[in-house]
């Protein structure tokens, strides 16, 4: 939520903090991707 009276243009070119309370869900998404890569690699090895 915006702070009262704050000009939204004041931080127009300031990158927001990359991590924060969302870091766990970002970690979950990354972890699932890594798990998929491992499963795909195992599947390929098993099938060929």
Partner 1 sequence: MSGLAALDWVVLLGTIATIVLYGAWRSRGVRSVESYVRGDALPWPTIGLSIMATQASAITFLSTPGQGFSDGMRFVQFYFGLPLAMIVISAVFVPAYHRLKVRTAYEYLEHRFDVRVRVLGGALFLIGRGVATGITIYAPSIILSQILGWPLQATIWVMGLIVVVYTVLGGTRAVSITQKQQMIVMLAGLGVAAVVVILRLPDGVSLGGAVQIAGAVGRMNPVTFDLDVTSPYNVWSGIAGGFFLQLSYFGTDQSQVQRYLSGSSVAESRLGLLFNGIFKVPMQFLVLFIGVMVFVFYVFSRPPAYFDQPAMAQASARHGAEIAALTARNDQAFDARRDAALGFLAARGTPGEDAARETLHAAATRFDAVHHDTKQLIDRAIDHKTNDNDYVFLSFVLAHLPVGLVGLLIAVILCAAMSAVASGLISLGATTTVDFYLRIRRALGRPPASPVHDLRISQLATIAWAAIAIGFASVASLFANLIEAVNILGSIFYGPILGLFVVAFFLRRVTATPVLFGAIVAQALIVILFFTSRIAYLWYNLIGCAVVVAVSLVGQALWPASRATQVDTP
> Where along the sequence are the contacts to partner 1 (CB under 8 A)?
2, 8-19, 22, 25-26, 28-30, 32-33, 36-37, 40-41, 43-44, 46-48
Q: How far apart are CA 32 and CA 16, in angstroms?
A: 25
- From 28, 32, 37, 8, select the one nearest 45 (Cα to Cα): 37
Instruction: Give min distance, CB of 5 to partner 1, in A.
Output: 15
Instruction: Give min distance, CB of 4 to partner 1, in A.
Output: 14
Q: How far apart are CA 26 and CA 40, in angstroms?
A: 21
Instruction: Give min distance, CB of 40 to partner 1, in A.
Output: 4
């Amino acid at each position: 939520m915006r702070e009262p009276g704050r000009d939204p243009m004041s931080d127009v070119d300031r990158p927001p903090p990359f991590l924060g309370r969302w870091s766990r869900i970002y970690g979950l998404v990354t972890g699932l991707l890594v798990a998929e890569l491992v499963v795909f690699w195992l599947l390929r090895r098993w099938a060929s």
